[in-house]
Amino acid sequence: MNAAQPIKRTSLHQQLVSRLQQLIINGDLAPGAKVPEKDLCAQFDVSRTPLREALKVLASDGLVRLEPNRGAWVTPVTVAEVDEVFPVLGALEALSGELACRAMTDGEITAVRDLHDQMMRSYAARDLKSYFALNQQIHRAILLAARNNTLTASCLALSLRMQRARYLANMTEGRWAQAVAEHEDIITHLSARDGAALGQTLLRHMEAKRASVIQWLQTQEPGAA
C-alpha cells in the first residue's frame, strides 16, 4: 500500500482522512473488505483513537460502514448507487461548466489547458494512474472556477463516492479514446467560453462514465461471464 506510510503529527486528522480515502479509491482497501485497523495503525504510526475518528468521517462520506463491536467495513459499489449518484453528479458538473465559463479568468483557462496537455501526454504513454490524477484536477479546476461554494461542496462529496468506482472499472481502449475525445471537446468549449455547450458535453461525459462503470459492475456479479 503506497499510501500507507508513517505520517507527521501535523494535521494528523486531515492526513489520516486523506490517506484512507486514497486507499479506498485506489482499491487497496477493496469494496466489502473489513478495514484492518491494527495494521493501519502500525503503518501510519498512530493510535486507534485518531484512526477511528477518521473512519467516522469516511462513514459520513459513504465510503465505510461502521458496525458496533465489529469495526469498519468498506462499503461496496453497487449498480443502484451508481444509477442514483451519477445523474446528479452529471447535472452538478454541467452547471459548474456553465458558471465557470462566465467566471474564469484567461489565466485559469490557460492553466486548465496545460493540465489537459499533460493528461494527453499521460494518455499517449498509457500511464493510467497519471491520467486519472490529471483528469480529476481538470474537473476540480472547472468546479472551483464556478465560484459557488454550495455547488462545490455538493459536487465534491458525490465525486468522492464515485471516484473509486471509476478507478476500479476497467478502462478499455475504446472507452479511453472516447473519454479523451470528450475532454478535447471540454477544452474547446471552455476556451470559447461556451457555457451551454460545455455543460452538455460534461453531462454526456458523466453519462458515458456511468455506463462504463455499470458495465464493469455487472461483470463482477456472481455468475457473470
Give residue 97's pLDDT: 98
Mean pLDDT of 139-158: 95
Which amino acid does the sequence have at 223?
Answer: G
pTM of the model: 0.82
Which cell numbers hold the place of 107?
489565466
Residue pair 99/199 in contact by the 8 Å Cβ criterion: no
- End-to-end Cα separation, the chain, in angstroms: 30
Residue pair 89/155 in contact by the 8 Å Cβ criterion: yes
Mean model confidence pLDDT for the chain: 90
Q: Return the SS3 of 31.
A: coil
* 4 pLDDT above the threshold of 60: no
- Distance, CA of 125 to CA of 99 (rounded, Å): 33
Please, which pLDDT band fits residue 199 given cuts at 50, 70 and 90?
very high
Give residue 12's pLDDT: 86
Q: Nearest to residue 63, comparing CAs of 85, 41, 93?
A: 85
Classify residue 193 as left (phi > 0), alpha (psi -120 to 50) or beta: left
Q: How far is the CA of 6 from the CAs of 15, 64, 99, 109, 185, in angstroms?
A: 11, 22, 41, 37, 42
DSSP lists the bridge partners of residue 74 as 64
Mean pLDDT of 192-198: 98
Q: What is the pLDDT of residues 58-105, one digit of tens each?
A: 999 889 999 998 999 999 889 999 999 999 999 999 999 999 999 999
